[in-house]
Amino acid sequence: MKTGEAIAKILKAEGVDYLFGYPVNPIFEHVARAGIQPIIVRQERIGLHMADAVSRLSSGKTIGAFAMQHGPGTENSFGGIAQAYSESVPILVLPGGYERRLENVNPNFSAVKNFAHVSKSVEQLSSGKDIGNVFRRAFTQLRNGRGGPCIVELPKDVWGEDAPENFSYTPAISTTYGPDNASIGKAAALLRDAKKLVIYAGQGVHYAQAWPQLKQLAELLAAPVCTSLEGKSAFPETHGLSLGSGGAAMPRMVRDFLDNADVIFGIGCSFGETAFGVTMPKNKTVIHATLDPKHLNKDVEAFVGLIGDAGLTLDALLAALKQDIRKPRDRKPIETEITTARAAWMQEWEPILASDESPITPYRVIREMMDTFDIDNTIITHDAGSPRDQLSPFWKSTTPLSYIGWGKTTHLGYGLGLAMGAKIAKPDKLCVNVWGDAAIGFTGMDFETTVRYKIPILSILFNNFSMACELPIMEYSTQVYRSTDISGNYAEFARALGGYGERVENPADIVGALKRGIEKTKEGTPVLLEFITSKELRQSRWPYKS
């Protein structure tokens, strides 16, 4: 058995069904013969983003995989790998490599050297005889601990080598670990005695699939819950105890309840300080439950640290708390407080959400999406910039993994590949990406990939003919040189690529366009709905700034 056949056998054993990427890399032919479908994209980042979504929507149980050409293909992939690393997403990356005798010759690009700081593990397959050990190490890293890209570089001259005689492979094991009993006892006492507890849930709840335990803890303690962008949908946002999700923009309740809390319990989160996260208030008693000890006391000082899987952590806390709290506390008072606060906040925003102005306000489109879509059967993601900050405060997720949130770094165009990967992972769901006219310029050509592979996503585009986020800091260059102006008829673009495209300029036409778009996706046609929207200056209309 040669190296290529052995690698394909390993991927098949590990449950890989699709290999995303861009040629030339010999691995595509080998996996195709093994029954793994290659999906060839137009730009490397999109393939990485699709693999990213596959891993997320299975909570890391199915590993998304991506391969690319040595040299330029590997160089082009850097941004997508860095994005997955920042979001702690486990994906397997298989870059081609130069012949081993040339790997250290400038200017040849070495994945092993250059990806070391944006990957969880990276190594070269230096011998066909070591293939089992190399891939077992990679998949063990992918299936254990905090996620991240794991990279195995495949040099050009390794393909002709033999795998070990009578080669066989056993899939990597997956383990979990939980916090110590003493820390659980301290945390349980703080949770029990807190007067104004707030639970802050991150994406670790998704990877642990600990959604029932989170809901049970909130209801037991009558505690309000907010989530990070990455953790959005870990707690149903229609629940009376939900405050919504945080980010650069957030419902006012998130900021107010955190600021007034006496105890903040962070579960499955890093508390990382980022411009696209929630700034934690100072001088609070913080319980930090995280899988990775590197996150403890990184940016937020913790009074108690709980290191381990979010599910095991919540199970242990529930067991400890139920020794003193025999039945769930009355949550009506706190739910009434949340409802009252939300009503006041929404009253301020109602004129914008219901606006008949033209160009259309993006918030009107989001309101109509909420009223038109079957939310329980929709997976939605945002893009960078304004679409993220417009969508996340108002979109109410009802089921786990129905919102793919992100923002530790902020690559334009990320959302398209996430929606495409989501549709492959969950073909029965309506999969939606919301992006702007700047984002489509980065990855829009891969709308053709949705047509070619019959991936019927619904793409919602806000077109205001401008880089609106940049307007406040580029006033002179815009006035004199029109530096932030951009343009295009993206509905025509979608039709030219073989999909369904429709441009909407009148608010009265929003619902009809959404319904037609949904029907087209059910027929198997990818859809791009282009809404001509108003410019929104970053500091003027954001729901609430962190």
Q: Quickly count: other Cβ atoms within 10 Å of residue 540's Cβ.
A: 8
The phi and psi torsions of 70 (rounded to 5 degrees) equal -65, 160
What is the structure's pLDDT at 408? 87
Find residue 67's DSSP bridge partners. 21, 94
Mean pLDDT of the chain: 95
* Distance separating the N- and C-terminal Cα atoms of the chain: 57
Query: Which is more confidently placed, 537 or 147?
Result: 147
Tokens, residue 480: 């004199």
283: left (phi over 0), alpha (psi -120 to 50) or beta: left
Q: Strand, helix or coil at 267?
A: strand
The Cα 28–Cα 103 span in angstroms is 22
Q: Quickly count: other Cβ atoms within 10 Å of residue 31's Cβ.
A: 27
Q: 327, exposed or middle or buried, with CB in 10 Å at 0-12, 13-18, 19+?
A: exposed
In whole angstroms, how far apart are CA 544 and each of 8, 253, 365?
49, 9, 19
The Cα 13–Cα 10 span in angstroms is 5
Q: Strand, helix or coil at 455?
A: coil
User: What is the rounded average pLDDT of the residues 110-137?
Assistant: 96
Model confidence pLDDT, tens digit, residues 352-393: 999 999 999 999 999 999 999 999 999 999 999 899 999 999
What is the structure's pLDDT at 537? 55
Tokens, residue 368: 């109509």
Cβ 111 vs Cβ 140: under 8 Å? no
Query: Which is more confidently placed, 407 or 284?
Result: 284
User: What is the rounded average pLDDT of the residues 130-135?
Assistant: 97
Contacts of residue 323, Cβ cutoff 8 Å, sequence gap at least 6: none
What is the structure's pLDDT at 468? 79
The phi and psi torsions of 96 (rounded to 5 degrees) equal -70, 160
- H/E stretch holding 185 reads helix 181-193
What is the structure's pLDDT at 540? 44
User: What is the rounded average pLDDT of the residues 294-298?
Assistant: 96
The pLDDT-based confidence of 505 (bands split at 50, 70, 90) is: very high
User: What is the rounded average pLDDT of the residues 97-123?
Assistant: 94
In whole angstroms, how far apart are CA 343 and each of 198, 243, 252, 333?
20, 12, 11, 15
Q: Strand, helix or coil at 61?
A: coil
**CA-closest candidate to residue 334, choices 225, 187, 232, 216:** 225
What is the structure's pLDDT at 389? 93
The pLDDT-based confidence of 472 (bands split at 50, 70, 90) is: confident
Model confidence pLDDT, tens digit, residues 42-98: 999 999 999 999 999 999 999 999 999 999 999 999 999 999 999 999 999 999 999
What is the structure's pLDDT at 504? 98
Model confidence pLDDT, tens digit, residues 204-258: 999 999 999 999 999 999 999 999 999 999 999 999 999 999 998 999 999 999 9
Instruction: Report whether pLDDT(545) > 60.
Output: no
Cα-to-chain-centroid distance, residue 444: 19
User: What is the rounded average pLDDT of the residues 451-473?
Assistant: 92
Cβ 402 vs Cβ 374: under 8 Å? no
Percentage of residues of the chain with pLDDT beyond 90: 91
DSSP letter for 471, please.
G
The Cα 264–Cα 255 span in angstroms is 12
The Cα 376–Cα 147 span in angstroms is 27
Q: Strand, helix or coil at 435?
A: strand
Cβ 58 vs Cβ 39: under 8 Å? no
Instruction: Report whether pLDDT(148) > 80.
Output: yes
The Cα 533–Cα 9 span in angstroms is 50
User: What is the rounded average pLDDT of the residues 532-536?
Assistant: 88
Number of H helices, E strands in the chain: 22, 18
Q: Quickly count: other Cβ atoms within 10 Å of residue 141's Cβ.
A: 21
E strand map for 392-516? 403-404, 430-436, 458-463, 500-504
What is the structure's pLDDT at 535? 84
Q: Strand, helix or coil at 212?
A: helix
Query: Which is more confidently placed, 213 or 103?
Result: 213
Contacts of residue 456, Cβ cutoff 8 Å, sequence gap at least 6: 423, 450, 520, 521, 522, 523, 524, 525, 526, 527
Sign for the CA dihedral angle at 187, 188, 192, 198 comes to: positive
| CA angle (194 as vertex; 189, 199 as ends), nearest 5 | 95
Whole-model pTM?
A: 0.96
Domains along the sequence of the chain with CATH: 3-158 (3.40.50.970), 181-337 (3.40.50.1220), 354-541 (3.40.50.970)
